[in-house]
Amino acid sequence: MDYKQQVVTALSAVLGADLDAETISQLIEQPKSDDLGDYAFPTFALAKVRRMAPPKIAADIVAAIDQTDFDHVVATGAYVNFFFSIRWPLPKIR
């Protein structure tokens, strides 16, 4: 199972008009702390396109995203943080 691809797919469904899947994939990060999730998506790149503050964009994405494949998804400041229910280390993003 490619967990990063699950994040890309979920975000693409919400952001398809603003960013393509390849760009979304390049922006996804692994937070430095496990408390912040398994993967994170920064919304700064969308601020000019949507003419909104990044924290508001993150909150809107969380409200719109299909969270079925995740333990939970939260907005933390300008980031959308994705949590999986798995407890083993996820592969590092290269």
Query: At residue 10, does pLDDT exceed 80?
Result: yes
For residues 78 and 92, the model is more confident at 78
Q: Burial of 7 by CB count in 10 Å (0-12 exposed, 13-18 middle, 19+ buried)?
A: buried
Domains along the sequence of the chain with CATH: 3-83 (3.30.1360.70)
72-87 pLDDT tens trace: 999 999 999 999 986 5
Provide the H-helix boundaries in the chain: 3-15, 21-27, 47-50, 54-64
